Amino acid sequence: MANISYRIKPRTGKIELPEKLGFGQIFTDNVFEMDYSPEKGWHNHTIKPLSNLDVHPASMFIHYGQALFEGMKAFRTVDDEVVLFRPHKHFERLNNSARRLVMPTVDVDEMVEALKELVYLERDWIPTKTGEALYIRPFMIGTDSALGVRPSNTHKLIIMLSPVGAYYPEGFKPVKILIQDDYVRAVRKGTGECKTPGNYAASLLGAEIARKQGFTQVLWLDAVELKYIEEVGTMNIFIEFKDEIVTPELTGGILHGVTRASVIEMLKDMGKPINVRRIQLTELLEAYETGRLTSVFGSGTAAIISSVGELRYKDKTLILNQGEPSQLEIDLFNEIQAIQTGRTPDRFNWLVKVEVPVPAV
């Protein structure tokens, strides 16, 4: 494990968090940062005050989008412990994104240790109300300054922290989603399964059109046939039919959600019939007509478990479970929150304790 140098300013005064946190509006005092070069590998491991980036205007990530990010969470448990939720999985996914984008991978264990040090230092920022957490945003950017299109040789990785509440403006109420086929988010064999800014940029126009029509998000269809349900962009999707629960299989265009994987494990543990398979939009529409459709919900680090109250596809409006969260959605939300906050035993081994004898600062 590389030694982390600390260049922090000691905080003066108490942290006052607003009553309603929203998502990603507030940042903690300090970040973790390290640099990569082919000669030195990852170096300059530092925890230092959050500040603006000083980058050359020709930095490759600005022009050619060689960048990636992750999103995970830390919680304070009812026993006053600080825990990270599945951090190894997140850094493994970061490495998958890095390989696809020709960026350097990180040592997962070393990153988890670095994150523990940062979170421990910033532990007083962890909010504790239901649905709140300390959101962790690692990101990596290609920093060579050159205008030819090629992989950058130098890179920077930063981890910043943000106390968050509900991701959607609705809070934890069911969201309204537009099924969109005028645009696509990502195509199989492209970068759809990576957490890379381009996927989010590609989703903005469709999402903006949806927002103007009163919808919170877009449910994207596959980019080849515009036939299969893929994901929402800010969350993976689950469909609860009367006889089975289905989530789309990972075909290359869908993010490998850590919360998605956790929900699948929880559903199996609850003895529910969960199937991972492709789902045609027509199956969903027909199930609504015939009464086979019970509920639709999303899963994501930011979104947690988000009930979908209404779906619109062209002139068809589907009101799901009278616009209220279904019992399954409530159970999953409560269960994942109970695990994350230590109100129920961590029987899946998802939590990593931040027990830090960190260097005195």
Which residues of this chain interact with ligand COI, rule CB under 6 A? 71, 234, 300-302
Amino acid at 35: D
- Beta carbons of 144 and 59 less than 8 angstroms apart: yes
Q: Which is nearer to ligand COI, 94 or 320 (CB)?
A: 94
Picking from 167, 185, 164, the residue whose alpha carbon sits closest to that of residue 175 is 167
Q: Least separation, in Å, of the C-beta of 81 and ligand COI?
A: 22
**Closest residue to bound ligand COI by CB:** 71
Q: Decide if 71 contacts 195 (C-beta within 8 A).
A: yes
| Contact criterion met (CB below 8 Å) for 123 and 354 | yes
Which residue, 301, 230, 222, is CA-closest to 261?
301
Shortest Å, Cβ 273 to ligand COI: 26
Residue closer to ligand COI by CB (options 104, 300) is: 300
Is the Cβ of residue 198 or residue 300 nearer to ligand COI in the bound state? 300
Tell me how crowded residue 97 is: count the other CB atoms within 10 A of its CB: 22
CA of 66: how far to CAs of 88, 106, 262, 270, in Å? 23, 16, 29, 41
Measured from the CB atom, the residue of 302 and 311 that comes closer to ligand COI is 302
Residue placing its CB nearer to ligand COI in the complex, 85 or 313: 85
- In one-letter notation, the amino acid at residue 111 is M
Side-chain half-sphere of 79: how many Cα atoms within 13 Å? Answer: 11
Minimum distance, C-beta of residue 357 to ligand COI, in the bound complex (Å): 29
Smallest separation, CB 277 to ligand COI (Å): 23
Q: How far is the CB of 293 from ligand COI (least distance, A)?
A: 25
Helix (H, G, I), strand (E, B) or coil at 83: strand
H or E element, residue 284: helix 281-290
Which CB sits closer to ligand COI, 184 or 302?
302
Please say whether the beta carbons of 167 and 175 come within 8 A. no
In the complex, minimum distance from the CB of residue 167 to ligand COI, in angstroms, rounded to a whole number: 6
First to last CA, the chain: 19
Give the number of C-alpha atoms closer than 13 A to the C-alpha of residue 102, restricted to the C-beta side: 11
**Nearest residue (CB) to ligand COI, 190 versus 300:** 300
> For ligand COI, which is the closer residue by CB, 116 or 195?
195
Tokens for 196, please give them. Answer: 């890379």
The answer to whether residues 139 and 70 touch, using CB atoms and an 8 Å cutoff, is yes
